[in-house]
């Protein structure tokens, strides 16, 4: 629900129903069934299933259904299956750019957890990072960082390459030509992601216009945030007010130089500094599902059967751009050993 309120394409939770059975992880926990809704639950893995069986007729039926349901514009292409591939790539590039802009880590990006509709699904070992670090991992099963924060864009492209492989028999009867066309589309992902990511990051920094130094300005900030172990969400949020002057990162001389340069950039825009900061408040959340708050809500609900904190937390998450003294602060001390688990 937080992701939905943040404007991220996502499946939604309809209901969670307890089963009365125990689920065993590091300890026994009460089990439940989560009922989700989405535009559809067709995944890249769904296409791989039929491709692995060599069932081209089933692949064509599935692709035709997805085009009709999600990508009718693909019918305008000379080959609609090439149009389908293009559409899935565009939606996935946008989706992952939104994850990156918000500091969200999916945690288990295998092809069966990627919807062809471009919505987020399978919220198992996911989490939002507190202190910025590109190698952040939370998933208990990701021991080598395959799905770390910084790896999400290249992993998405890898998944899309697997999707493209399933469409080879449909794109063109000439296999070599089909592979060439599919490869060209997949290779476009990086540029599409970069454009979507940069557009969102400019909004987070109050930059209305594309400038030659935008990427450098953004990357310099991220380097300084990593160096100072700055909170990803609040650093961006506090930049839109004098609150940034009280952040620990402001003690860093290099950050002060960056800050002066950034202020100069937004002041010279015709929109003005105040307008820039108003835009930033609309694109930098004050409230995210922080790990310690999620765990507190779960503990109260499971151990004490007390859902009041959970309900208040969800209400705050549905208004993520409104400041909250209760739900807007990071943990006093970040738990470096914190792990999240798959839902099954």
Instruction: Identify whether the C-beta of residue 47 lies closer than 8 Å to the C-beta of residue 62.
Output: yes
DSSP 8-state symbol, 288: -
Task: Tally Cβ neighbours within 10 Å of residue 77.
Answer: 16
Gap between the Cα atoms of 241 and 234, Å rounded = 11
Q: Does the annotation mark 252 as catalytic?
A: no
Catalytic residue among 55, 57, 64, 112: 112
Residues 6 or more apart whose Cβ sits within 8 Å of residue 182: 82, 85, 164, 165, 167, 168, 171
Across the chain, where does the E strand assignment appear?
Answer: 12-24, 28-37, 104-105, 127-128
Residues 6 or more apart whose Cβ sits within 8 Å of residue 33: 16, 17, 19
Helix (H) or strand (E) holding 126: none
Tell me the CA end-to-end span of the chain in Å, nearest whole number: 20
Catalytic residues: 112
């Amino acid at each position: 629900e937080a992701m939905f309120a943040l404007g991220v394409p996502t499946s939604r939770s309809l209901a969670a129903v307890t089963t009365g059975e125990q689920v065993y992880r590091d300890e026994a926990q009460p089990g439940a069934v989560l009922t989700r809704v989405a535009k559809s639950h067709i995944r890249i893995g769904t296409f791989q299933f039929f491709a692995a069986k060599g069932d081209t007729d089933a692949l064509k039926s599935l692709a035709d259904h997805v085009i009709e349901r999600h990508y009718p514009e693909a019918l305008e292409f000379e080959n609609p299956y090439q149009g389908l591939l293009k559409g899935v790539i565009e939606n996935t590039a946008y989706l992952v750019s939104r994850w990156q802009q918000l500091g969200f880590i999916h945690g288990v990006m295998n092809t069966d957890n990627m919807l062809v509709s471009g919505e987020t699904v399978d919220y198992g070992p996911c989490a939002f990072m507190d202190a910025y670090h590109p190698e952040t991992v939370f998933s208990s099963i990701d021991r080598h960082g395959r799905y770390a924060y910084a790896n999400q864009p290249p992993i998405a492209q890898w998944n899309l390459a697997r999707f493209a492989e399933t469409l080879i028999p449909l794109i063109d009867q000439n296999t070599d030509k089909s592979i060439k066309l599919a490869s060209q589309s997949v290779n476009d992902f990086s540029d599409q992601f970069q454009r979507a990511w940069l557009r969102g990051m400019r909004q987070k920094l109050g930059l209305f216009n594309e400038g030659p130094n935008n990427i450098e300005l953004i990357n310099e900030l991220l380097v300084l945030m990593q160096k100072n172990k700055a909170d990803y969400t609040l650093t961006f949020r506090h930049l839109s007010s004098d609150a940034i002057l009280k952040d620990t990162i402001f003690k860093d001389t290099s950050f002060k130089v960056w800050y002066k340069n950034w202020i100069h950039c937004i002041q010279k825009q015709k929109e003005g500094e105040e307008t820039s900061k108003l835009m930033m408040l609309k694109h930098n959340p004050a409230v995210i599902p922080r790990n310690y708050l999620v765990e507190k809500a779960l503990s109260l609900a499971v151990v004490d059967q007390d859902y009041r904190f959970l309900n208040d937390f969800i209400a705050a998450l549905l208004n993520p751009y409104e400041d909250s003294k209760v739900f807007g602060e990071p943990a006093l001390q970040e738990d470096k050993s914190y792990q999240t688990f798959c839902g099954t």
